[in-house]
Amino acid sequence: MNSEALTDLVVEALDDVKAKDIVRLDVRDMTVVTDYMVIASGTSNRHVKALVDNVAEKAKAAGRRPIGIEGEDGGEWVLLDLEDTLVHVMLPKVREFYNLEKLWSISPQGDVTATDG
C-alpha cells in the first residue's frame, strides 16, 4: 500500500467515527520524516481515543502496523505514527492553539538578513 492509499484509508477511518474538520497535508517537499499528515478533531477525550483506535485497527487490517501511538493517556492530542502518514487527533482547543495546518503550510520566503537596530 503506497502512502496515498494509506492516507485515504486514514481519512475514511476517521470519517467512519465522525471526526471533525479532517485535513490532509502533503508534506513530502518539506520533510523526510513522512509523506502526509492528517489532522482531525474529536469532540471529547473519549472520542479522540476512539478515532485513533479505529485508524490503528483499519491500518493493521490493511497490513500497516503503527510504529507508535503517543498521548493516549491524556486524550487531548494523540499522535499515531504510520510511517508514511502521521495522524494527529486533537480536541478543538488544542488544535486551535498549536495550529499545525498553518505551521506545515509555511513555505520558505528566501534568505532573511539580520540588521543592527
Determine, yes or no, domain membership for 93.
Answer: yes
Determine, yes or no, domain membership for 117.
Answer: no
Determine, yes or no, domain membership for 79.
Answer: yes
Residue 12's pLDDT is 97
Over residues 13-69, the pLDDT tens digits come to: 999 999 999 999 998 888 888 999 999 999 999 999 999 999 999 999 999 999 999
Contact 86, 38 (CB under 8 A): yes
Determine, yes or no, domain membership for 75.
Answer: yes
Determine, yes or no, domain membership for 59.
Answer: yes
Over residues 99-117, the pLDDT tens digits come to: 988 887 765 444 444 444 4
User: Whose CA is closest to 80, among 44, 36, 43, 21?
Assistant: 36
Amino acid at 81: D
Amino acid at 19: A
Helices (H), 3-111: 3-16, 45-61, 92-98, 100-103
Domain of 73 in residue numbering reads as 3-103
| CATH number, residue 64 | 3.30.460.10
Query: Helix, strand or coil for residue 36?
Result: strand
Task: Indicate if the alpha-carbon torsion angle 9, 15, 19, 23 is positive or negative.
Answer: positive
Residue 117's pLDDT is 42
Task: Indicate if the alpha-carbon torsion angle 106, 109, 115, 117 is positive or negative.
Answer: negative
Residue 43's pLDDT is 97
Residue 114's pLDDT is 42
Task: Indicate if the alpha-carbon torsion angle 15, 5, 84, 82 is positive or negative.
Answer: positive
Residue 110's pLDDT is 44
How many distinct structural domains can be found in the chain? 1
Residue 82: pLDDT above 80?
yes
Residue 107's pLDDT is 56
Residue 22's pLDDT is 96
Determine, yes or no, domain membership for 109.
Answer: no
Determine, yes or no, domain membership for 113.
Answer: no
